């Protein structure tokens, strides 16, 4: 299978090359040339009910549909290295509501499902090519710690993670800055996640610099991240009973950068049964405004109780736009240029699969109320991001709420809402360590110089 840029000006690549490139040379994002039918894959695993195959085997079967540069045996080995230590249980709250817990990985966040695999793919790439890799990414909290955990102390790779100073939780910051690994470079910048992400994109479109240092991406601009997240939607479906499936399935997805819900929508387009995807935003409600008004118009970022969703430019939206435009790269590129020129787009004529997408908005006061109500109604403790998924649970469909992080990462918010102070041993251990981070500056030129000086050779 080949992968095409959303902007249509770069040659298509195979899986391994698209993975290594991250961002296409024309500034676009890679998308599979076709979306394969997964109904036979689901049927294969449903035949194993009531004991579905391991997450590892499901992930391997899924990736063989896209990755034709590794053998099925190699893909299975990569998935075994990535997933055998954690799971994605579907927890029933009542007859019509379940929570897909995606925080049982090494960094206690859903980003582990994409980034454990990405880390092992980078290691495989280095082994195959003999070339070192320098990984650059931006984070609003969980991406950074998951990427760092997946790549810490791996030979031939240095990792540069930009994060906004004071806009991630203290424990998220410690997960990035207390590794002790010599190949990890957390970079604190002034501004928001969107500012950090802009620096990353600016450096990726500097093709000479990208080639010079062997730059690769870990954000969900890298398609392997999004494909890795598709798998847990299939796994959730396989854990449902026939009675639950008969009601229709509604996925409620906390998201800021749109990658988490895009993964679900892609699997729907491949054949996953779903009646609706609810885009659950916090008070930084760019996506809520898009799906309710048709206007894509970022505002200023307002720090919130759910910092990983404090985003006003959703990178993965470009993939949805491209697919909704019938894979018209020229039109997509023109719209993205219009967005760069005017910082807004009127997309009221495009509809964006409105039959399948809706959106909600949850501000900080409602996050506290949802957290309190989830504890009182279901005896369930939800982290502040997952709390956004508890808004307006009125549908008759069976609702699957994606729990994106452990509540132990945000103890002060949980305690404020419920009086309960959640902890986790791995996070408690970080409190005894000394953070190490870097402050080279907050513009692309300063970060570029820092990466050059510290790049893996």
- The catalytic residues are 111
In terms of DSSP H, where are the helices of 304-410? 317-324, 329-342, 364-378, 384-387
Enter the tokens of residue 273.
């049964």
Residue 190 CB-half CA count within 13 A: 5
Nearest by Cα to 264 from 242, 286, 237, 284: 237
Look up residue 172 and give its DSSP letter: H
In the block, residue with structure tokens 């009646």: 275
As given in the structure block, the two tokens for residue 96 are 């019509």
Task: Name the helix (H) or strand (E) containing 136.
Answer: strand 133-138
The long-range contacts involving 371-379, CB below 8 angstroms and separated by at least 24 positions, are 371/413, 371/414, 371/417, 371/418, 372/417, 372/418, 375/417, 375/418, 375/420, 378/93, 378/94, 378/97
Q: Which of helix, strand or coil describes residue 65?
A: coil
| Residues 345/346/348/349 CA torsion (nearest 10 deg) | -90
Kindly give, in sequence order, each residue whose CB lies less than 8 Å from that of residue 339, ignoring residues fewer than 6 positions away. Answer: 296, 345
d(CA 431, CA 429): 5
Side-chain half-sphere CA neighbours of 226 within 13 A: 28
**Nearest in space to 388 (alpha carbons), one of 233, 303, 283:** 283
CA gap 319, 7 in Å, rounded: 10
Task: Look up residue 109 and give its DSSP letter.
Answer: B
In angstroms, the CA 257 to CA 266 distance is 15
Local structure of residue 456 (DSSP, 8 states): -
Q: How far, in Å, CA of 395 to CA of 250, rounded?
A: 8
In 3D space, the residue among 328, 399, 454 whose CA is nearest the CA of residue 91 turns out to be: 399
Beta pairing, strands 398-403 & 249-254? parallel
């Amino acid at each position: 299978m080949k992968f095409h840029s959303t902007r249509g000006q770069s040659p298509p690549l195979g899986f391994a090359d698209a993975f290594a490139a991250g961002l296409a040379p024309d500034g676009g994002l890679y998308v599979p040339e076709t979306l394969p039918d997964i109904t036979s894959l689901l049927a294969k695993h449903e035949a194993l009910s009531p004991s579905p195959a391991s997450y590892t085997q499901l992930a391997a079967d899924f990736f063989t549909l896209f990755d034709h540069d590794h053998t099925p045996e190699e893909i299975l080995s990569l998935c075994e290295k990535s997933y055998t230590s954690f799971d994605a249980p579907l927890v029933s709250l009542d007859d019509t509501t379940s929570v897909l817990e995606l925080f049982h990985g090494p960094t206690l966040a859903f980003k582990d499902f994409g980034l454990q695999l990405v880390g092992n793919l980078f290691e495989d790439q280095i082994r195959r090519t003999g070339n070192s890799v320098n990984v650059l990414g931006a984070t609003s909290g969980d991406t950074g710690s998951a990427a760092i955990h997946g790549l810490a102390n791996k030979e031939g790779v240095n990792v540069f993670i930009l994060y906004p100073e004071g806009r991630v939780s203290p424990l998220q910051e410690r997960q990035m800055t207390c590794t002790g690994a010599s190949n990890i470079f957390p970079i604190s910048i002034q501004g928001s996640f969107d500012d950090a992400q802009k620096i990353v994109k600016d450096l990726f479109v500097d093709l000479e610099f990208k080639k010079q240092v062997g730059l690769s991406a870990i954000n969900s601009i890298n398609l392997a991240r999004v494909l890795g997240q598709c798998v847990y939607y299939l796994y959730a479906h396989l854990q449902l009973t026939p009675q639950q499936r008969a009601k229709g399935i509604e996925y409620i997805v906390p998201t800021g950068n749109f990658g988490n819900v895009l993964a679900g929508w892609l699997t729907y387009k491949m054949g996953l049964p779903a009646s609706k995807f609810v885009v659950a935003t916090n008070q930084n409600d760019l996506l809520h405004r898009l799906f309710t008004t048709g206007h894509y118009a970022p505002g200023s970022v307002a720090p919130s109780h759910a910092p990983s969703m404090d985003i006003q430019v959703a990178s993965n939206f470009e993939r949805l736009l491209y697919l909704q435009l019938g894979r018209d790269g020229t039109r997509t590129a023109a719209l993205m240029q219009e967005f760069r020129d005017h910082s807004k787009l009127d997309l009221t004529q495009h509809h964006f699969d409105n039959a399948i997408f809706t959106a909600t908005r949850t501000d900080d006061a409602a996050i506290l109320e949802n957290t309190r109500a989830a504890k009182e109604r279901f005896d369930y403790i939800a982290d502040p991001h997952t709390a956004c998924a508890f808004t307006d649970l009125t549908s008759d469909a069976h609702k699957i709420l994606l729990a994106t992080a452990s509540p132990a990462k945000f103890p002060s918010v949980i305690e404020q809402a419920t009086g309960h102070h959640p902890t986790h041993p791995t996070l408690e251990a970080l409190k005894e360590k000394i953070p190490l981070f870097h402050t080279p500056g907050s513009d692309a030129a300063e970060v570029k110089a820092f990466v050059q000086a510290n790049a893996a050779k």
